[in-house]
Structures are given as C-alpha cells and as structure tokens.
Structure 1
C-alpha cells in the first residue's frame, strides 16, 4: 500500500509532532489496542549491508535526513532496533516512508523493497526468529519531493518483550525495480497488532480434509470438501462431503456424501449458483480417466449429478461458476501440468445457456510457459460487459515474478487481457473474489502458504484496478493456519449480508481440518 503526499507537508508535519524524536524508538507501555506505532528515523538506523549513504534531502529551507538507497547497486540495506512489546501484542506491521528528489521521478517507474525481521529472544540465538519479507513493488509518484508510505509487512508474529531488529532493503536487482536513481528512506514505522480472530471449525477429525468450497444459499452456508489419506487427488479413498450451517458457521450439520466414485478420487474444485438459486458444484474425478462432474443441490444435503461435459481440452480444474448477462453461466478452466515448464499450458472459459446441463468450451490462451500461466482463477462480473479475474501463479522464489495474474474482459468474456499484478505475498495461493453489491468494493482472498501460513485479503475499487493491475492495495491478515506448505491453503469465499465467509484447510498430514473465517465486508471510505 502506498500513500503519496507532498514531502514538504508530510515531513514537516512529522517534525511538528515529534515524529523524528529519538524517544519514538521506545515502545508504548499501554495496551496494544491503542495501536501506537514505534518509529525509527534515518538517524536511528545504521548500515547493515552494502554502502548506502546517510544524507540530507533538501528543498529550499526544508532538510530531511534520509538513507540514500541505490537504484543500481544491489545489496544495500539499513537496520535499527525497537524495544519489545508487552504481552498483549501478538504481531506487528512494518511500514516505511520513502521519497526522492530526482528530476526523473515519474509514475512510469516502480521500485521494490523488502524487510528482514528478527527478535532477540532470551535463551536463543538472535537469528532464531529471522524472517525474510516478501518483495513489495510500488509505483513512484508523478514528481519529485513526494513521500510514499509503503506497507512492507502486515503481520509478523512477535514474542513479548523481545527487541525487534528491522532491516530495510531496496531490491534494484528485481525486474520490477525500473527506477535506476536513488531513493531516500526517511522513516520506519512499527505498529503493534492484536491476535487474529480464531476461525470456526467445519470439519475436524482423522483424515486429510482439504480443498473446501463455500457457498451461501440464502441464509444457509454450504461447505463441501474432499477427504483422503494425504495430499493426493486420484486415490480411490478420496470422496466429497458436505455440511450446512444456519447460524453463520457456528455449528454444522452431520456430513453427507456428495460423491464417492469407485476407482476414482473425487475432489471439489468449483462452486456457484444457477438461475434459480440452487447450488452448483464442480467435482474433479480422477482415475484411469480425468473427468469433471457438475452436481446440483437445493438444500446442501442431497446432490444430483447433472452434467459431465466432454471437452476438447481436458482441464486440470474448472473453477467457480458466475452469472454473466447475455451469456448465461460461466466458469474458468486451466489445463497443463503443474510440474511442466511448458509451453503447453492453456486456460479459457466454459459457458452454459441452460443452467449447467450443457457447456461450451472456449480457449483464451494456449501454448503458455509456466511463468505466464494463470491457474485456479476466480472471476466476477462488474457490469457493462466487464469481467475481472485473478489467477494463481505457479512460479516460486521470492521476487515480483511470483505474483498473481489479473485478467480482464470488456466483451462479456469473449476476449481477455492478462497482466501480472503487484500481489507477491503468495505461495501457490488460490484466489477467491467477492464483489460487494452495496459498496462496489472487490475483495481478493488468498492463503499464503509456507512459513507465513496466513489467510490474506486485499480490497480495491474494481473500476480503478481494472486498467492498473500493478496498483493493488496492500494485504491484511485475516486468519492464521498451518505453516506446512501443502497442508494448508485454498481459500474459497462467499457472503451473507454484510459478512464474508472464507473456507480453507489447515493441519499436518495425514490429518488436516476445514475451517471458515468470518470477517465483516469492507466499507467504503467516507
């Protein structure tokens, strides 16, 4: 998240309220709930790696001390230490304030930063809680002398009373850092946070319960999920089950069997509603052949098989079903192989004009490399023929090349334009979109797998982001789960009124469970 404002007004205001006073490096003694941040000025930080310079960035009579971070030399970073927080602090978020006085500054360029965090915990090496942050790409302001506040980390769990080391590094070696001139780091802000709300349990017990799909039918939640012996899709023991809730996820009915095909593994892969409000559920059936079965239910208990479409291109997966005017029902699909570099990957749409009984397959892109392949996409219809979809990336590593894709259409899904986004806090993170009818805001939910183990949300005005895929606001953490990479993940969201419900699975093989996080729908700024 960036908030560009005039450097003259911003930094003078900070000086007026003592924002650069050295006492700001001391942590507040009151409760975390007041959210009082701790600040480190440039003068309170020192060189960690490379040879950055502590300089005065000046304009007229205004002189601001900053660390000058090169746009061409990699490996430059500075660090500082803040004192530990009290026991009611569960985590911190870290922001930086940067600026530039270079005349070449323009919103045509972007730069990239990351934060390294660690804690000095008693009885352990100070490297024990080392954390390497995700790269964060932001667009420069339209002119020099503007300040940007950039959120580098939204939720780093901390131990109470242990000092926190903060190291900020610019990444000019990242392909997205296109501004070759220096930038100035003026301030680091560390804000204490409370613990995340605990999710509600849908299914917990022996077995690998995974890949849930969550759908609201009126005031009823229907959660479907697949259970097997491990992270496998083709074992005969894997079947699909369903539970329903009429109290917004607090309690659930006993599970019922949706699909248990002899000789096949059944996996939930997509959900939606037909024109009558009945729930549709895509189930991938893998055995000697690879099929996708579409089920329909009016109560979330009894499911009827209504279609097994034959397709020229066999998808890995068909995702959520949405309604598109003049078209009917639409679902996105993708095909290829997760482990193959390509170029043999593809994606496209399926459309139905008879409530899912028959489907037409359309190939949007083919012969893609793995780096350009959007997988497990989620889409929303925005109106006036416009659709917006977000796709998962299968790229690993920790650079801006590992970012979700945005695909947009202006002709009811006949043609699409695909672009990379600035959403890089992802690890094989499946997106799930909700468009709020009342506010018009778009929420993108996804689970960041691996060492983070966090369910995240980004909220944006879709009309703004439609043509600016690199300008998604920063994420917020919604819930936490397992940090074992493949034993947690796969967010799938729905809504009832002004509440969003996001299902995901979490645990440690051979036993994982299905959870649902409940969060208020985002509200438009007044």
Structure 2
C-alpha cells in the first residue's frame, strides 16, 4: 500500500486532540491522498452548498484513497471504520447498489507497516432516494489495534463487484474511525491439551450444558476423537467434571446439533465418522448422562444435522445439508428432518438438490417466528473476495413445507457458522457468527425479523462481541443459547494442536433494532 508520508506528517497533530477515549476521529477529503488509480478530488455542489469529495468511479476498477490516523486511546482494543458518501447524479435511486471495502494496517515499531494489513470485506448498500443525500456505511466494525500506533486507512470502491450496479461516480466525503474497547474475556469450558473444538451449548432451565469434542487436530474421523459434556450452574464461570457422551471404537465422534424435546430433555446430534458415516442422536435429562436414542438411515447422507427446534403442528425440526466441501457441484443439497415422537423417529425431506458449491447453504441455524414463519441462516462455502461470499437466508411461511433461499448482505464471513437466538421478550433476532482468519472476531447482527424476512439485503451492520484466535481453522463455530435475559455463546479458539472451548456471556439486547 502506497502512503503519502507528507500527508501523514501533517495529519498527525491535527487529529491528536481527538484521541479522547471512545471519541471518533475523522479524515475529511482534504486529509486523504491518492493510493491507487486516478480518483479525483472535486466539489459536489447543490445550490449554495459545496462539499469536497473524492470522486470514485463506478466503471474504473482500482481507485482508492488513503490517510493515517494517530492518537488511538490506550484502552481501546479495536476501531470501527465508517465512510460518508454522497452523489449529485440524477440517476441516484434505491434501484442501485454500490460496494466499498477498507484496507487497514498499523505502523508498529520494529515491524513492516504491511505486517498487520487486513483487506476488509466488500460491503454493499442500496443508494438513497435521490441525489444530494448522504449515507454512512460501516466498512469494518472491529479491527484489532495496538493502541498508540498510527493506523493506515485505505478506502476503495469495487465497481467490478457483481453487486455494484451504479455505474456513475460516487463522492467520498469523510472517514470516521471510532476507538472501541476490547470485548470481555470469555470463560473457559475446557482447555486440557488437545484439539478441544466444535461445541454445542444448550440451556436446561438455569443450567448450561456444553457438548464438545477433542482429538489431535482439525480432523473428524480419527479414533482418538470423542465427544464430552460439562455443565455449569453459575453462568459459565465454573464447570462440572468432564463426562463422556460418545467414544466409538474406530470412529471419531463430533457434536453437530442440539436442542430440547417436549419434556425439556437435551437432544444432541453426534456425527460418527470412520469406515462409515452416521448421525447418532443422544438424549440427556441432566447434561451428565447420555443415552443413544436413534441412528436414522438417511438418503442423501447428511454432512451434518444441525440444531433442533420446535414448530407448531409439525413437532421437532432440524435442518441438514449433504455434499462435499471440496466439490464444486452441482451435487449438493439441503433439507429438513421432522419428528412427531420427541426424536425417536425422523422423516427426511430434501428442499433443494443439484446445487453448486456457491449456491449451497451449509451448517444452518433456524428459528420459528410464529404464524408458520421460519427464518434460517446458512453458511457459505464460497471463497470469492466479492459480495458473492455472503451468508444465505432461507425462509418459510408454511411451517417448513416450502422454502425460499436468498443471499444476504452479510459478507464479513469466512467459513462462518451462524447461530440464531430469538428473544421472546423483545422479539429481536441475534445472528451470531465467528469470522475466521485474520479478523478473528465473533460478530452479532441484531435485527427485527420482519425487517429482513422478505428483504435479506437489509441486515444492519455487525458489532463485535468476542475476539479470538486468527489461526484460520483453529477457531470459530459459535453455538448460542439463552437463559432469561442473558445470551451464552460457545466457540473454540487456539492454535493446533491445542485449542480451548470457551463461552462468552452478554446481556440480551433491549429496546429497538433496525
């Protein structure tokens, strides 16, 4: 990334006075310099108002501008980056979208200024009702920082992205950088030597039950891998001794889904992989002792069966997906399982088949909203650095008989398994997911379900609720549950061969959401 050293030197004292804790720092257009391409610094005018902006093309790729921010407070753990854009073009309307991303790095003493570079994810937004309107767009809600070190910010429009449909220039007026305190540290469920991973967390009354697995690495079929459980009655601070759920000779046992039956007993799907591939359902009334309920014969054979939830007039329901993570397709499918006898028997239904990898929703999480409506979010397996790498939203209005799958605007993902919680008191929906890789952040997007049920591109910006390892496959897979007004989020974090199962705790959201 090319930076203007003169601009950086001039900018530093100008922003130093804005370094109070949590006070936002700003870069206006005159404090930014050309980084790549040939964007132009112009005035966008309306009547007697003239706004200096960087004009970023809607047709020419590779245009970006940059600046340097100093004076981050000593107690901040990260920063949130937003931009303000506007346009005077008469074609501006909500029929179009544009796409931006931010590049971030820090100038750390004794290290190259490229060492902490993060290429942000593309963010798509709908244009406003007409020209002269301004938009604030969150490009990154939490970038981990070292306080005191200069922060390099580069803003780039992405006219080559398939979601950027507005071919006219857009004006970048300002960049807002807000220092954010680090999320609270999590509690540890299990951190003995080994690859403690893939937890499932379920509330049973006031008790938390965490079902997880341990092996020697990021593998699912090794004989050394077994599934265990621990319980907590003090909100995750302490946990009972580990008990064994499943340790099948010649197989690896991995929990993949959880839920409750009509009596309040815990149900846990455990994938058993060895010379064959099975999905075993276990039941427990205390979170300590588990009994095998059934091993259904299923075709197509699921990769996983995910969390169990209750649907009126149907019974228990769980979503599944089938295929191969390494196959581009079109061989992939997903569907539902239903049970009318508390999980003793299951009926399998395929919802979609013949999908390509890019179309395939994996590891879904679902909630019943009432009046026959179900909303599910699925992980994407796409690795594209565009808005095509986004979570899927699947909805049903008839108790799961028929479904519609659409792409969302949730693009800050990397093999990010979702977990949904619908709060009964407020009706607010929390979508939790861990962005693996360099970001290493557990996010929440909070929304009123009715605002996105038919509009999957309207999910609001995320907030960071936990931070973990940036070792790509050695952290992630959040699974959430709720007790009263508190959300509990289990995930794993570390670096192979040793990772830990952790639980983050936060208050359920209150009040309004978008």
Answer whether TM exceeds 0.5 for this pair.
yes
Measured against aligned partners, the alpha-carbon deviations of 1:443-472 in whole angstroms (never above 9, x if no partner) come to: 011111111111111111110100111111
Q: How does 1:145-224 map to 2 (within 5 A)?
A: 145-224=132-211
Whether the 8 Å CA contact 1:202–1:515 is kept in 2: the answer is: yes
TM-fit CA distance, 1:28? 4.2
- Secondary structure (helix, strand or coil) at the match of 2:325 reads coil
TM-fit CA distance, 1:23? 9.4
Look up the match of 2:312.
325
Look up the match of 2:16.
27
Look up the match of 2:257.
270
Q: Does 1:347 align with 2:347?
A: no
**Residues in 2 aligned to 1:230 and 1:158: alpha-carbon distance in whole angstroms:** 29
Whether the 8 Å CA contact 1:218–1:496 is kept in 2: the answer is: yes
- Secondary structure (helix, strand or coil) at the match of 2:30 reads helix
The correspondence for 1:504, drawn from 467, 482, 491, is: 491
Q: Does 1:254 align with 2:244?
A: no
Whether the 8 Å CA contact 1:31–1:88 is kept in 2: the answer is: no
TM-fit CA distance, 1:130? 1.8
Look up the match of 2:271.
284
**Residues in 2 aligned to 1:27 and 1:390: alpha-carbon distance in whole angstroms:** 43
Look up the match of 1:243.
230
Flag structure 2 segments of 5+ consecutive residues without an equivalent.
Answer: 1-10
Structure 1 segments (4+ residues) deviating >3 Å: 22-25, 27-31
Q: Does 1:38 align with 2:25?
A: yes
The correspondence for 2:383, drawn from 385, 393, 396, is: 396
The correspondence for 1:475, drawn from 462, 485, 497, is: 462
Whether the 8 Å CA contact 2:26–2:176 is kept in 1: the answer is: yes
TM-fit CA distance, 1:127? 2.0
Look up the match of 1:11.
none
TM-score between both structures, scaled by the size of structure 1? 0.94
Residue 261 and residue 23 in structure 1: after superposition, are their counterparts in 2 closer, same or farther (change >3 A)?
Answer: closer
Number of residue pairs matched by the alignment: 503
Q: Does 1:492 align with 2:479?
A: yes
Whether the 8 Å CA contact 1:29–1:86 is kept in 2: the answer is: no
Measured against aligned partners, the alpha-carbon deviations of 1:353-387 in whole angstroms (never above 9, x if no partner) come to: 11111000000000100000000000000111000
- Secondary structure (helix, strand or coil) at the match of 2:16 reads coil
Q: How does 1:285-434 map to 2 (within 5 A)?
A: 285-434=272-421
**Residues in 1 aligned to 2:399 and 2:458: alpha-carbon distance in whole angstroms:** 24
**Residues in 1 aligned to 2:14 and 2:434: alpha-carbon distance in whole angstroms:** 33
Q: Does 1:520 align with 2:507?
A: yes
Across the aligned residues of Structure 1 and Structure 2, the Cα RMSD in angstroms comes to: 1.4
Residue 23 and residue 486 in structure 1: after superposition, are their counterparts in 2 closer, same or farther (change >3 A)?
Answer: closer
TM-score between both structures, scaled by the size of structure 2? 0.96
Measured against aligned partners, the alpha-carbon deviations of 1:114-169 in whole angstroms (never above 9, x if no partner) come to: 11112222233222222211111111112221111100111112222222121100
Look up the match of 1:102.
89
Measured against aligned partners, the alpha-carbon deviations of 1:174-222 in whole angstroms (never above 9, x if no partner) come to: 1111111111111100111112211100001111111000000110000
- Secondary structure (helix, strand or coil) at the match of 1:280 reads strand
Measured against aligned partners, the alpha-carbon deviations of 1:220-257 in whole angstroms (never above 9, x if no partner) come to: 00000011111111111111100000000000000100
**Residues in 1 aligned to 2:138 and 2:504: alpha-carbon distance in whole angstroms:** 24
Measured against aligned partners, the alpha-carbon deviations of 1:421-464 in whole angstroms (never above 9, x if no partner) come to: 11111110000000011111110111111111111111111101
